[in-house]
Amino acid sequence: MKDLFSDKNIFPVDIKDTMQQSYLDYSMSVIVGRAIPDARDGLKPVHRRILYAMKELNLEHNKPYKKSARVVGDVIGKYHPHGDMAVYDALVRMSQDFSMRYPLIDGQGNFGSLDGDSPAAMRYTEVRLSKIAEEMLKDLDKNSVDFVPNYDDSLKEPSVLPTFIPNLLMNGTDGIAVGFATKIPPNNLAEIIDACLAYLDKDGEISTDEILNYIKGPDFPTGGICFDIKSIKEAYKKGIGKITLRAKVKEEKIKNRQALVVYEIPYQVNKALLLQSIAQLVKDKKVEGIADLRDESNKEGVRIVIEIKKDEQPKVILNKLFKYTNLQTTFGVNMMALVGNTPRLLNIKDAIGVFVEHRIDVVKRRTSFLLSKAKDRAHILEGLLITLDNIDEVVAIIKSSQSTQEARSRLKERFKLSDRQTQAILDMKLARLVALEKQKLIDEYNQVLKDIEYYESILKDRSVLKGVIKDELVYVKQTYADERKTQILDSIVDIGIEDVIKDEQLIITFSKKGYVKAVPLDVYSTQHRGGKGRMAATFSDNDYITDIFLTNSLNTLLCFTNLGRVYSVKAYNIPKQSPSAKGRPIVNILNLQPQEFVKTIVPISEADSLFFATAAGTVKRSSFRHFENIPSNGKIAIRLNEQDSLVSVFSVAEGDEVIITTRRGMCVRFDSDSVRDMGRAAAGVRGINLSEGDSVVSAFNFNQDKHTKLIVVSQTGLGKLLRVSDIRKVNRGAKGVRCIKLKENDSVAGSLSLKDTGDVIVVTKNGKMIKMDADSINVFSRAARGVKLINLDEADSVVSIVVAGSEDEYKA
């Protein structure tokens, strides 16, 4: 012992080099021995050993099941010296039809579920090979692959399986090694085999694009929808990429309610956690409109029912669920596999090529083995036939010999036989001497000669070899192929913010102090003329509503300010609040300049132009193209005089007319086309000739095909309907005609055009709002005062009106 620790037995080493080498050895051990599959059979060592151990136990698909514990015991005792739970987990996964596209193990018992439930203990479950798994183990006894010693050199195990099926692509795999990871999606067996046949036909001279004509994309065991063929092809061409996967959902009506029914979920998504995430979104009010959520899944398949509240839009809720839950996921493709014990990133053509080359090698080795066996049998048969032709002499030699050894020597010398032929003659039964048995030997010999010729043709002629492989692939396709489960769609459907916004009409209000809010139109119920109305807002002292308009939640709004500038904002960005709420300062939404406030807002439309009207009677028409891509800091929309202010901006189309109403009850009507198209920064031209002290209070477009009447409302709450035909058309710049008779202390609050039917909303200075049916308002002559539309409190007055119709038809 003393000599062992002497100086001559101690060698200095660099700890850095030692650590580096040790880590590399460990890394390669994990890469090759655990986490990365062999590209030929698509299996990691543990899976290969499980299948081989089950074959050794004769657990074919048509044999009785055996306890999983027995299989696990054989695997860890003979081939895989690791923990039993690691082996059992691998065995369980190979039996789960929601984990593997084509399960390799037929399990009996509880093997887990989509909800993440654990499988039963291995002492309770039973297993046997699935029929398709047996195709991976065929020909193991025909020297088709190399066998290597097991961990203690007591047994042999196959280094790879001689698989008939392209398991790497068929079932996919995933794993994490040291410095490497793999994640290969499963695919449809029929498509892979078609690609393999095409590869064989062209001897590998086939492009990746041609391969992808056969393989459309992943085919997950849980179904679902894959988006964007372009990204799928890119991932398959490079061997790395991302694929968007979405659940399959349908709409059903359940007890007078609309419901979303999820019947296929994305691959590797835990169903129970998915339900929890949806429930949490409802609890946190990130997704509103869900009345009930339940799991009705059974043995027939997945069924998640999401009941929708009345008047909610299922599509909007579904888009929110796609955006915020695992109803839509991303599958990261990383096709890393071992090729010659070296990790290599494969594209789809490489993976097909490795499998086909493996099949060629297996068939060649198998054929060589069968050829050797056939030649050996032919050699024996030749000796037996010689014996039968000279049976009397053979019998005489055997009878006259003193020992078996002497008989063997004399027969060998007399008929020029080999040792094996001689032994076969001595072992032959007397029953073989009958004439019928002799003919059987002759027939067998002739068949063996044909087999030898066939085997030699396979080894010599590549076309025959390819034919054998193709026949076997076609057999696999015909026996095991099934319909695709995962649907492939051409383009990706990105879920933007607008996809999760409810499509609804909003009443948007602005106050004098710049508070803005949105209230859904359906909040207001229709009242009779003369009603008290409902609070539209609650304001502090000296604040009141100055503008109100109706729009759609998904519309882009152009916001025009008192300084003649324009900003853009989406309607859904306006905060939704209750009818009585104060609102939110618009300066928090738009990047306004000092002393600037929003005067009017126009939704983007398909009309030709925007029409501007100022308090001083100036008008301007500008094309919508001048107002595209408005930056956050705004743009000049119209050049204003210091004394002037913007009253209204609205869209006009070819053939529209414009009606302008003044504070003193004057009204002018002319063609919008009479105002030429001007640039964005132009000042405009005269639209109406105002009397001294008068000013414009409203301006709007009018179309004879859509609008038939005009409503005028005064500040004291009087209002009436007026036939538009009573207002004659004049040239731009005229004084116009009187449209309402006013008392001394009264003035016009606003006017609008409307159809025969519709609801009218009247807003007061103190924040009250009343919604009434237009049919309840009488039609009067131009000189009439009208009727009381709303009972006003003391010091209150009407400031605005809006027609609650289609956004494309009406604008306040």
Q: 520-536: per-residue pLDDT in tens?
A: 877 765 555 555 555 55
Residue extent(s) of CATH 3.30.1360.40 domains in the chain = 248-326
Q: Would the pTM of this model clear 0.75, i.e. be above it?
A: no
Mean pLDDT of all residues belonging to the chain: 85
**Using one digit for the tens of pLDDT, what is the confidence trace for 598-639?**
777 777 766 678 899 999 999 999 988 888 778 777 888 888
If one compares 357 and 426, the residue with the highest pLDDT of the two is: 357
Q: How confident is the model at residue 807 (pLDDT cuts 50, 70, 90)?
A: very low
Place of tokens 């207002």: 727
Q: How confident is the model at residue 415 (pLDDT cuts 50, 70, 90)?
A: confident
Would you name the residues annotated as active-site residues? Answer: 124
Task: Say what the pLDDT of residue 494 is.
Answer: 58
Would you tell me which CATH number, out of the four given (1.20.210.10, 3.90.245.10, 3.90.199.10, 3.90.1560.10), belongs to the domain 22-187?
A: 3.90.199.10
Task: Say what the pLDDT of residue 710 is.
Answer: 86
Q: How confident is the model at residue 313 (pLDDT cuts 50, 70, 90)?
A: confident
Burial of 725 (0-12, 13-18, 19+ CB in 10 A): exposed
Q: How confident is the model at residue 414 (pLDDT cuts 50, 70, 90)?
A: confident
Pairing of strands 718-723, 787-788: antiparallel
Residue 21 pLDDT more than 80? no
Q: How confident is the model at residue 806 (pLDDT cuts 50, 70, 90)?
A: very low
Residue extent(s) of CATH 1.10.268.10 domains in the chain = 352-480
Write the DSSP symbol of residue 503: -
Tell me the CATH number for domain 248-326: 3.30.1360.40
Write the DSSP symbol of residue 179: S
- d(CA 473, CA 101) in angstroms, rounded, equals 18
> Among 104-108, 161-165, 387-391, 756-760, which is the least confidently predicted range?
756-760
Question: What's the order of all strands across the beta sheet hosting 565-570?
Answer: 598-603, 556-561, 565-570, 635-636
Would you tell me which CATH number, out of the four given (2.70.70.10, 3.40.630.10, 2.120.10.90, 3.40.190.10), belongs to the domain 503-804?
A: 2.120.10.90
The topology (CATH level 3) of 352-480 is Topoisomerase; domain 3 (1.10.268)
Burial of 712 (0-12, 13-18, 19+ CB in 10 A): buried
Residue extent(s) of CATH 2.120.10.90 domains in the chain = 503-804
Q: What is the sign of the dihedral through the CA atoms of 4, 7, 11 and 14?
A: positive
